[in-house]
Structure 1
Amino acid sequence: MAETPNLPQQATSHAITLPGSSLFDVVRQKLLDDLGQVQVERRGQERIYRPRAEMLAEVVTADTWIMMLDWLSSTRRSSVNTKRAYADDIRRVWAAYAQELGHERFALGIFTRDHIRAWRIREEAKGTPLTTIARYLRALSSLHVYAAERIDLPRNPVTQDDTPRIESGNSSTSTPVLEVSEIQAVIAQAKNEFDLLVVTLLYALAGRVSEMCAADVTDRLERGRRSYLDVTRKENKERLLPLPITVAELLDAHTEGRTEGALLLDAKAERLDRHDVARMLARMGKKAGVLPERKLTPHVLRASRITHMLDDGVPLAEVQAFADHDNPATTVGYWDRRNKGQRNAAHVDAAEAVFADVVPQFRR
């Protein structure tokens, strides 16, 4: 990412301290590169991007911006996607709220517990999902706790009293799962081979959209008669995943003649991004008639693939390894939700047997 002239240039006493020379500049530039670009506009087929760090610097104070770079450089936030999500939450949610309260820019320590209570109640009244509210609060709290260990700050404005309790395994807040027949219905709505490639690639590898969009042509490997894709998963873990023959053939056609650059290109020959994929899947899901009250998302495909593996009797440990779940409880959660749903359906069917013989006489 090119150097942006309006970003804070010097570290303060509470930020990353490095001895002399240009080492700080190297570290700083790496962090800016990790934050990446944000699509801010679309003019026809042309996309307009801006550096995320630059947009963040416009809505937070200079000291807060530098503290955020320090915070995001921690190994506890090693995933590029996590860094970007946290930066977006502070920029879009908390900087906007700070301005609403009369502050020109967001700064650490400006919110009180009453501010957070009012914000939480309003978000609930708007119908914002509790999982989303909890995520925004986690970002603010994490930044505050990190900074409070380095500088004097008022007490953390985010408390347990305002952090929604998300029930583990709550199916109403979990990512929905499509049945195999519904996946096939979505695939049938592909309008060209590229649509087909994206859907089958995401589903077959239980992939995250960020992994697929970040992959390059050089990440495609051939070993013997098998084709593989070298993907970078969360926490920068490298995984070599075998490709189904059909998907490999679709990739062959899509990358024909190219030896470098992005693996997946859009109609303008630019790297496919997650927004493109989101629009594509929403269109296909709507035409297929699945999830009538929600949009089909890449994570639905991932959740569906993981669930189908469990349906097929694949051991939990194998599913965990394939999906790259750090915590086995995450994989168990898929299994538990699936089995809970099936058990509940069996209980309801058993109840129907009690009155099934009586109902027909009223229908007549």
Structure 2
Amino acid sequence: MSTSSTVTEVVSGYADHLWSRDVSEHTARAYVSDVSDFLDHAVHSTKLRLGSGDGQSAKSSGARIDIAAVELDDLRSWLIALDDAGAAKSTVARKIAAVRSFFAYGVSNLGLPNNPAARLRTPKKDSRLPTVLKPQQAADLISAAERSRGAQRDTRSSQSDGSAPTDTDTGDSTTGDSAQQGKNDPLDAAKRIRDAAILEMLYATAVRVSELTGLDRSDIDHRASMITVLGKGNKERRVPFGTPARQALEDWLAARELLAGPRSGDALFLGVRGGRIGARQVRELVHRYGSDDPSSPDIGPHGLRHSAATHMLDRGADLRQIQELLGHSTMSSTQIYTQVSMQRLQDTYRRAHPRA
């Protein structure tokens, strides 16, 4: 492919390049979208546009563009437009990484003389600290789901009629006053047992939600109380979990067959349709169980990950060990938890010390 092609051809070639390099699906999708966004901006420049098909945006037209003519000012113009639109610094940083990757691909594969994005400066991320739960708040959140495990005995003694579930994964958990009803419904009981295991495992292992939903039963080492997760960059790591999580996991595995179906495969956690549960459903159930306590911050699965790391640091865990547990590639990502712990110490001091 030459440097002068339709936008569709350019983006398609870059997408194929990303897939060939085993880039994660999430990253590849984001980078392709970001590059398309830049080309959509750039194609309206008379210097870059060579002609168009239907006059629509670059994302949907046959517009031709000469990417060899892209200069630093064209990229800066795009970034200014993003800033004017109120894009977050983290979003801008990702988009800069995407166009750097794209033009590096152009240099290596399309004969571009240089990478104009190499000189872009990445904006510093906002120094906002992550929201975390207090240890008791985390315990209360998990207890809200753990109470449902009392239904497990009823679940084991009940016989499923074998009919396929007709509801969706969205809002499929039973909480509060409907708990008794769930004891009389094997499917509801199984969902609540699953929810308890998910919350226990999220907090016990501090894994990302994508890592949790990607777990298979074969990834569990029951004897060592360890799981093998596939993290960012397709890097595997082993993560331990404790006794409460092990018990919750055993309860779920005993009830799993009630939700299992032809689409289940070896997936550890299932939705009510029998397929692997999705990240969105996990986020919804975390928010749902945490909504009963008005004093507790509303967090998602990543908030439980932040909370677990902070609580371990507060109780004397080594920062390097926390880095390994979380699967951070650099220590700088882990060091934010020292700031969280220091902030909590300062808050406690101001509240408790008579001369604060």
Alignment of 1:307 onto 2:307: no
Name the SS of the counterpart of 2:123 in structure 1. Answer: coil
CA distance, structure 2, for counterparts of residue 204 and residue 73 of structure 1: 35
CA distance, structure 1, for counterparts of residue 30 and residue 24 of structure 2: 10
Tell me, yes or no, if the aligned pair for 2:206 and 2:304 is still in contact at 8 Å: yes
Indicate the residue corresponding to 1:248 in structure 2: 246
Indicate the residue corresponding to 2:159 in structure 1: none
CA distance, structure 2, for counterparts of residue 276 and residue 69 of structure 1: 30
1:97 Cα deviation (Å)? 5.1
Alignment of 1:268 onto 2:215: no
- The within-5 A match list for 1:101-250 is 101=44, 102-103=57-58, 104=61, 109=67, 112-153=71-112, 156-158=115-117, 163-166=122-125, 170=127, 172=128, 174-190=129-145, 191=175, 192-223=192-223, 226-250=224-248
1:135 Cα deviation (Å)? 1.3
Letter matched to residue 279 of structure 1:
E
Change (3 A) 1:230 1:66: same
1:269 Cα deviation (Å)? 1.4
Tell me, yes or no, if the aligned pair for 2:200 and 2:248 is still in contact at 8 Å: no
CA distance, structure 2, for counterparts of residue 227 and residue 86 of structure 1: 31
Name the SS of the counterpart of 1:229 in structure 2. Answer: strand
Tell me, yes or no, if the aligned pair for 1:95 and 1:105 is still in contact at 8 Å: no
CA distance, structure 2, for counterparts of residue 60 and residue 278 of structure 1: 36
Name the SS of the counterpart of 2:104 in structure 1. Answer: helix
CA distance, structure 2, for counterparts of residue 330 and residue 243 of structure 1: 22
Unpaired runs of at least 5, structure 2: 45-56, 146-174, 176-191
Question: Of the candidates 340, 343, 350, which is equivalent to residue 341 of structure 1?
Answer: 343
1:252 Cα deviation (Å)? 2.4
Name the SS of the counterpart of 2:230 in structure 1. Answer: strand
CA distance, structure 2, for counterparts of residue 126 and residue 189 of structure 1: 41
CA distance, structure 2, for counterparts of residue 318 and residue 339 of structure 1: 16
CA distance, structure 1, for counterparts of residue 78 and residue 38 of structure 2: 8
1:273 Cα deviation (Å)? 1.4
CA distance, structure 2, for counterparts of residue 291 and residue 160 of structure 1: 44
Deviations 1:10-32 (A, max 9, x none): xx699xxxxxxxxxxxxxxxxxx
Indicate the residue corresponding to 1:66 in structure 2: 13
Tell me, yes or no, if the aligned pair for 1:71 and 1:143 is still in contact at 8 Å: no
Q: TM-score, normalised by structure 1?
A: 0.65
Letter matched to residue 289 of structure 2:
M
Indicate the residue corresponding to 1:332 in structure 2: 335
Name the SS of the counterpart of 1:288 in structure 2. Answer: coil
Indicate the residue corresponding to 1:48 in structure 2: none
Change (3 A) 1:312 1:66: same
Letter matched to residue 209 of structure 2:
V
Indicate the residue corresponding to 2:325 in structure 1: 322
1:346 Cα deviation (Å)? 7.2
- Structure with more contact order per residue of length (Cα contacts < 8 Å, sep ≥ 6): 2
Deviations 1:110-156 (A, max 9, x none): 86544433443343344432112211221121221232133233754
Tell me, yes or no, if the aligned pair for 1:68 and 1:143 is still in contact at 8 Å: no
Tell me, yes or no, if the aligned pair for 2:313 and 2:341 is still in contact at 8 Å: no
Deviations 1:221-260 (A, max 9, x none): 332xx54323223333333433323322322232235795
CA distance, structure 2, for counterparts of residue 206 and residue 97 of structure 1: 36
Question: Of the candidates 33, 36, 61, which is equivalent to residue 95 of structure 1?
Answer: 36
- The within-5 A match list for 1:345-356 is 345=347, 353=355
Change (3 A) 1:339 1:205: closer
CA distance, structure 2, for counterparts of residue 304 and residue 108 of structure 1: 48
Tell me, yes or no, if the aligned pair for 2:208 and 2:302 is still in contact at 8 Å: yes
Q: TM-score, normalised by structure 2?
A: 0.66
What's the % identity of the aligned pairs? 25
CA distance, structure 2, for counterparts of residue 199 and residue 290 of structure 1: 19
Unpaired runs of at least 5, structure 1: 1-11, 15-58, 355-364
Tell me, yes or no, if the aligned pair for 2:72 and 2:119 is still in contact at 8 Å: no
Change (3 A) 1:220 1:147: same
Tell me, yes or no, if the aligned pair for 2:322 and 2:334 is still in contact at 8 Å: yes
Change (3 A) 1:96 1:212: same
CA distance, structure 2, for counterparts of residue 282 and residue 323 of structure 1: 22
Size of the aligned set, in residue pairs, is 284
